[in-house]
Amino acid sequence: MAIIVRLDRVMADRKMSLNELSEKVGISNVNLSKLKTGKASAIRFSTLEAICQALECQPGDILEYVEE
């Protein structure tokens, strides 16, 4: 099983840069970049909520489950 992070796609759709999202969410570029590239092993609900608020999206727009 795998969770795929689609943050880059949603950011591109909203024409929002990593720096801009980082400022709006209040987390570092490094941590946001790890999440964007799928290298993060966990995400706090508060962070996910802030990202969804900034991007005006739902958690399902960012995270996708794919059965291997």
Q: What is the mean pLDDT of each run of 10 residues along the chain (68 residues)?
A: 90 96 94 91 94 97 92
> May I ask the CATH architecture of the domain 2-66?
Orthogonal Bundle (1.10)
Cα angle vertex 38, ends 34, 39, to 5°? 55
pLDDT score at 68? 81
Alpha helices in 1-68 (DSSP H): 7-14, 18-25, 29-36, 45-55, 59-62
Assessment of whether the complete model's pTM goes beyond 0.85: yes
pLDDT score at 1? 57
Burial (CB < 10 A; 0-12, 13-18, 19+), residue 42, is: exposed
21: amino acid identity, one letter: L
